[in-house]
Amino acid sequence: MEYFLSLLTAAAAPPPPSPAPASTAPHNSTQMAFPVFTRIRLAQPTDVPQIHKLIHQMAIFERLTHLFTATEASLSSVLFKSPPFQSVTIFILEVSSQPFIIEEEEDLINNSPPLYQPKFQTANLDHPIAEDPEIETFKSLNSGDNVVIGGFALFFPNYSPFLGKPGFYVENLFVRERYRRNGLGKMLLIAVVKKAVEMGCGRVEWVVLDWNVNAIKFYEEMGAQIQHDYRFCRLTGDAFQAYASTN
């Protein structure tokens, strides 16, 4: 089970229940929408507390908190040790009710192209950001006020010997509950795929649950092939640790 659930839930969850109409808005046949600004950027070390909380939310959602042993320290010990895209890499999705101020000072100081040029898009939410009950918890420390972290994608390089090319494996694609069903998961996945193409990779891979027909349909529409005859094998826990003492 684990976090793969979140990948498909975030990207292609079932249609939302009809929202309660806002009291000041007129009733009509189209769903209420609140336009917001979004930015996808590389995670920074200062994002670790919120990344840890996001991963914990995945564990709650997937009823796997008994498997959740990551700490902020264990995340920090692995993340940001290599340049992005060469090892574990995280894209943070931010949402804001105000346009982002594009900050280029750091790039100008270094006089080099940034490791990842953030992607800016607008989206329509079905609730205003101000109604986010976790707005304080997920306020982005790396951005201005009114910027909230809505989700993230965690991925790392893999390799296709047949193609002789690297690729990306998307381990997590998570959008916080309040922000789901607004296309934000798709934005994150496309950002990963576009970066892979730009880097000369040969493919992007991930895992989905077989019963999530909405997600499978969405991935197929994105052009992915579902490998129905593959089975994922995992050696972990005590059975894994026992190999310490084998010859």
Give the range of 20-28, 91-99, 133-141, 165-173 binding a second copy by CB under 8 A.
165-173
Comparing CA positions, the residue from 166, 165, 148, 149 lying closest to residue 157 is: 166
Contact pick of 45, 194, 199, 217 for a second copy (by CB under 8 A):
194
Place of tokens 């990306």: 168
Place of tokens 């050696």: 235
55's tokens = 């991963």
Tell me whether residue 57 or residue 146 sits nearer to a second copy (CB atom): 57
CA distance linking residue 154 with residue 244, whole number of Å: 29
Q: How far is the CB of 145 from a second copy (least distance, A)?
A: 27
Residue 4 amino acid letter: F
Contact between 196 and a second copy per CB under 8 A = yes
Instruction: Please state, in angstroms and as integers, the Cα–Cα distance from residue 152 to each residue in 10, 38, 196, following that order.
Output: 10, 12, 17
Q: How far is the CB of 8 from a second copy (least distance, A)?
A: 9
Give 47's contacts (C-beta < 8 A, 6+ positions apart): 90, 92, 140, 141, 142, 149
Q: How far is the CB of 243 from a second copy (least distance, A)?
A: 5
219 is catalytic: yes
126's tokens = 């079905």
Site for a second copy in 58-117 (CB under 8 A): 58-59, 64, 67-71, 74-75, 77-78, 82, 86-88
Active site residue: 159, 169, 179, 219, which one? 219
Contact pick of 44, 57, 158, 214 for a second copy (by CB under 8 A):
158
Contact pick of 84, 142, 169, 214 for a second copy (by CB under 8 A):
169
Site for a second copy in 33-62 (CB under 8 A): 55, 58-59
